Structure 1
Amino acid sequence: MVSFNQQGINCTVSGCLDQEAVRSLWNGRSSILDPDTAFLWLSEIEYCDSAGVAFLLELVSTFAAKGASLKLVSPSEQLKKFIILYDLNDFFIEEAK
């Protein structure tokens, strides 16, 4: 199970972001985050598979299509393995600036 905890412009994602979670979130993906969200904090993700990574990138794309920027910040250790494996460094930052 995955949860999104919104606090102002920050949203912390925690739990398991896998194919099953993505399937349950997909239809509502455009309303998961507040429109003014700027940072998606990922350090509390316990497990993430390739579907979860694709979902995170879809959220970034959704914001970009609306002319907004969504930064993926502070990926968990497990998520960092995917970032390295798929060369996704340009999409994730260690800490918000």
Structure 2
Amino acid sequence: MQEVLEQESLLILSIKDAKNEDTSIESFRVLLKYGADMDLGVRRYDENGKEYLYYPTDVFARGYFVSPMIMQRKRKIWDDRKRYLKNSNFLLDLRMKEFLIQSYNL
């Protein structure tokens, strides 16, 4: 199971290194749409061979070699997705409350 999770996260990692900005951004959007886990780290190695974990949201941190345009566009996609999920959970909670109230009143 862990192997599959690392592979899914690796897909997100490969987007960071994409040369084509539009492909990078569109891939990021599609992976988020289909539920890629942004909190899943991927093992990477620096130029000295030292292992570290890379998290897909690290692309938003300063110090990574990502163009400001890509970072800004991905940040907007990320924020929109979080807002959508928050609203979805809110609507789900409302529907659940309505269901429970109706069930209780039967």
| Fold-level similarity (TM above 0.5) | no
TM superposition score normalised by structure 2: 0.35
> Greater Rg, structure 1 or structure 2?
2
Higher strand share: 1
Q: What's the TM-score once normalised by structure 1's chain length?
A: 0.37
> Bigger relative contact order, structure 1 or 2, given CA contacts below 8 A and separation 6+?
1
Bigger proportion of residues as helix: 2
